[in-house]
């Protein structure tokens, strides 16, 4: 261990005691830090030189430390300023992000509402679509049924059309046949009338008409019903009796168109009980509409010819004077 007298940089002196190996270590460290050649302390007889070297070392070391401290302060100040600016930027950015977040939140809420509205709107078209689909299915089914019905009716129509054409053809054939038969009938009627006239002239008295085995006389005078019957009896006959369509048609022909003649029908014996002059009860009737309607005031019957083919009966006052027809 050695002892060293030193004077610091302020002019104070003192002793410095340290081991030689420690100084050597310090000198080595100083050499490392200062990158200079180490200063070897001198012996006791050189105390002034050692003090000078120590003072130079301290000044050099203090200046370097002060420079480092200043640099460190500058760096620290720059870091603080940078941190402040960074935090301010971060705060500004945070405020901006907060505003953007609020805007995005508002936009998100709006989009959510629009999504819900669109979902609701989407559900409504889906329901309408389902209803339309159901309606379409129903209409399709009805259309198919109508198509089937139409096809059936078309077939029936074609069958009816074919049947109609056949019936029309048959009708035309029957009409042609009818015209031929009508023409033949008219010819036969003319021939029959000619033959009847010929037979009557051979069998019945002059002025009488013949039908079958009977002869008929049409008066040219007009008398009451009772007087007309008396005239017929005087001629060996009686007023005509009509019991079938053939006699009705024949009397209509004898009467002539739009003429009145008495016939042998009366209810004068018993009101409402009509009997012929041969005392037979009335069965086949050819009354005009709403006849008889005269009651006790009209007890005799006359024949009126509407046309050459038809005629009818009326009850009337027996005292009225008409022409008459006799039969024998």
328 residues of the chain, pLDDT tens digit each? 444 444 444 444 444 444 444 444 444 444 444 444 444 444 444 445 555 556 666 666 777 788 888 888 889 888 899 888 888 887 887 788 888 888 888 888 888 888 888 888 777 777 888 889 998 899 999 999 999 999 999 999 999 999 999 999 999 999 998 999 988 888 887 777 677 666 555 678 888 988 888 899 999 999 999 999 999 999 999 999 999 999 999 999 988 888 899 999 999 888 889 999 999 989 889 999 888 887 788 899 999 988 877 889 999 999 999 999 999 9
The total number of residues written for the chain in this structure: 328
Structure tokens at 22: 């420690």
- Cα gap 118→229, rounded to integer Å: 112
Q: What is the DSSP string of 87-132?
A: HHHHHHHHHHHHHHHHHHHHHHHHHHHHHHHHHHHHHHHHHHHHHH
So what's the pLDDT on residue 190?
Answer: 78
Q: Print burial letters for 132-163: b (CB count within 10 Å at least 16), e (below 16).
A: eeeeeeeeeeeeeeeeeeeeeeeeeeeeeeee
DSSP single-letter state for residue 244: S
With tokens 């819900």, the residue in question is: 116
| Domain assignment present for 310 | yes
pLDDT of residue 50: 56
- C-alpha 151 chain-centroid distance: 21
Does 116 reside within a domain?
no
238 bridge partner residues = 327
Q: Please report whether residue 72 resides in a domain.
A: no
Supply the CATH number for residue 233's domain: 3.10.100.10
Q: How far apart are CA 328 and CA 326, in angstroms?
A: 7
Is 282 contained in some domain?
yes
Instruction: Return the pLDDT at 263.
Output: 95
pTM beyond 0.75, yes or no: no
Q: Do the domain assignments include residue 295?
A: yes
Residue 297 in any domain: the answer is yes
Number of structural domains in the chain:
1
Within a domain: 235: yes
Q: Which domain range does residue 298 map to?
A: 207-327
Residue 30: its pLDDT value, please? 47
- In the DSSP assignment, the letter for residue 294 is -
**What is the model's pLDDT at position 70?**
86
For tokens 């016939």, the residue is 263
Contacts (Cβ under 8 Å, ≥6 apart) of 44: 5
Distance CA 3, CA 22 (A): 12
> Contact 238/199 with Cβ under 8 angstroms?
no
Are 299 and 316 in contact by the 8 Å Cβ rule? The answer is no
Tokens for 105?
Answer: 């939140």
314 within a domain of the structure (yes/no): yes
């Amino acid at each position: 261990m050695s002892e060293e007298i030193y004077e610091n940089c302020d002019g104070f002196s003192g002793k410095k005691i340290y081991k030689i190996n420690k100084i050597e270590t310090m000198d080595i460290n100083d050499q490392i830090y200062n990158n200079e050649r180490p200063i070897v302390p001198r012996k006791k007889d050189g105390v002034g030189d050692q003090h000078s070297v120590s003072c130079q070392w301290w000044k050099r070391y203090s200046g370097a430390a002060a420079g480092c401290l200043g640099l460190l302060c500058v760096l620290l100040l720059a870091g603080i300023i940078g941190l402040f600016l960074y935090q301010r930027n971060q705060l500004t950015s945070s405020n901006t992000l907060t505003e953007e977040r609020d805007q995005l939140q508002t936009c998100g809420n709006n989009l959510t509402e629009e999504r819900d509205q669109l979902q609701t709107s989407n559900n409504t078209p889906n329901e309408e679509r389902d209803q339309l689909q159901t309606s379409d299915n129903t209409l399709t089914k009805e259309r198919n049924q109508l198509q089937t019905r139409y096809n059936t009716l078309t077939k029936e129509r074609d069958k009816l059309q074919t049947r109609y054409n056949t019936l029309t053809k048959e009708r035309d054939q029957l009409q042609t046949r009818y015209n031929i038969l009508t023409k033949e009938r008219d010819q036969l009627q003319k021939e029959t009338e000619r033959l009847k006239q010929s037979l009557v002239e051979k069998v019945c008295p002059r002025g009488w008409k013949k039908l079958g085995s009977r002869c008929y006389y049409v008066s040219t005078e007009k008398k009451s019903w009772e007087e007309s019957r008396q005239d017929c009896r005087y001629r060996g006959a009686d007023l005509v009796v009509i019991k079938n369509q053939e006699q009705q048609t024949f009397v209509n022909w004898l009467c002539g168109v739009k003429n009145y003649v008495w016939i042998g029908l009366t209810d004068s014996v018993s009101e409402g009980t009509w009997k012929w002059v041969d005392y037979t009860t009335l069965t086949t009737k050819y009354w005009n509409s709403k006849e008889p309607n005269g009651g006790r005031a009209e007890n005799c019957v006359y024949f009126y010819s509407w046309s050459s083919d038809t005629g009818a009966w009326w009850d009337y006052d027996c005292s009225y004077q008409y022409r008459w027809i006799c039969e024998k």
